[in-house]
A = this chain, B = another copy of it.
């Protein structure tokens, strides 16, 4: 009963079959498949007819063995936020499939010692090549990784790079400007006492957000210093940071968190402390990821087109005519929801 199901399935046509069926040479079929020039319309039509009739599909393994392409794009992952990661992955996936490519996932752990990290990379790359990697933060700013890829001659595109932006290509938004926009939003509401929840130190884009936020406030005329606390990029980190902030007795009227996950944590800490968001205190995040609408009140945040960024990164990788290095800047915008409001009357 299972003999049938354990077979290889229906026999697939090969390029040879197509060649015979259409009465042309193997090489001509290959030319048609790969859209090479110097093919007469007649020949092309014949071949395409045969391909359709035989339901021929090129074999990926044979192609990559003989040729120089693997038809695989690798997505390098090391991000703590499932929301962010899934969005990037979706964008990369769609772009890759649109080009008949496949998406391979490669997790790495960049928190280990350097030599161990290098060993991870070696193992990944050595045993199966791909036509390029999409790098997600914080890996986009991992110099060890960049060096490795450059030395190996492997193409890559970085999502949200903040360091050495001329290496490889990159897809970014203007993190500093986005944070500045958030600063203006809070300022306009009347806030004058701020706290900021910093992201992980390896995440350079997080640092840009912090800088952009504080600079803008200074320009607006802020007098009090901004309280700064490390919150990582996780809900847990946010709740811890929120707890310690509120326990300290310092009372900002607005808190800017480096991403939505930590913002949600801060909101939870406020609830615990008996503070109502946004009546008693305003909280805002960054990303407009899925969690921004998974909390109550809905989070005021910065929308960044994460899925599109993944899509753009992969598309760039798939265009072989792309210039060696280019930075593509996508648009962000403020999303004002319910977690920010004017400060309470003193």
Q: Contact residues of A with B, CB < 8 Å?
A: 2, 4-10, 12, 55, 57-62, 64-65, 68, 70-71, 82-83, 85-87, 89-90, 93, 100, 102-105, 107, 126-129, 150-155, 235-236, 239, 261, 264-265, 267-268, 271-272, 290-291, 293-296, 324-325
Contact = CB atoms under 8 A, between A and B. Distances in A.
Contacts of A264: 294-295
Contact of A93 (B64, B107, B151, B154): B107
A90 B107 contact: yes
Contact of A61 (B61, B104, B235, B291): B61
A293 B235 contact: yes
A143 to B, nearest CB: 15
Given A100-B127, A105-B105, A152-B10, A295 B295 contact: yes
Nearest to A128: B60
A103 B104 contact: yes
Nearest to A122: B55
A153 B4 CA distance: 7
- Copies in the assembly, this chain: 2
A57 B100 CA distance: 27
A295 B268 contact: yes
A287 to B, nearest CB: 12
A114 B290 CA distance: 29
A296 B324 contact: no
A245 B60 CA distance: 53
A273 B127 CA distance: 56
Given A65-B62, A107-B93, A236-B293, A9 B153 contact: yes
Given A9-B152, A268-B295, A126 B65 contact: no
25 contacts: A2-B325, A4-B153, A5-B153, A8-B153, A9-B152, A9-B154, A55-B126, A60-B127, A61-B61, A61-B65, A82-B82, A82-B87, A82-B290, A89-B105, A93-B107, A103-B104, A235-B290, A239-B296, A261-B294, A268-B294, A268-B295, A272-B296, A291-B291, A294-B294, A294-B295
A148 to B, nearest CB: 10
Given A2-B325, A5-B153, 7 more contacts: A2-B324, A5-B150, A8-B68, A9-B151, A9-B153, A61-B70, A102-B128
Nearest to A93: B107
A153 B279 CA distance: 61
A236 B90 CA distance: 20
Contacts of A128: 60-61, 71, 102
Contacts of A272: 296
Nearest to A79: B86
B102 A104 contact: yes
Contacts of A90: 107
- 10 closest A-B pairs (Cβ-Cβ)? A268-B296, A9-B153, A82-B86, A60-B128, A61-B64, A61-B65, A57-B126, A235-B294, A9-B152, A82-B82
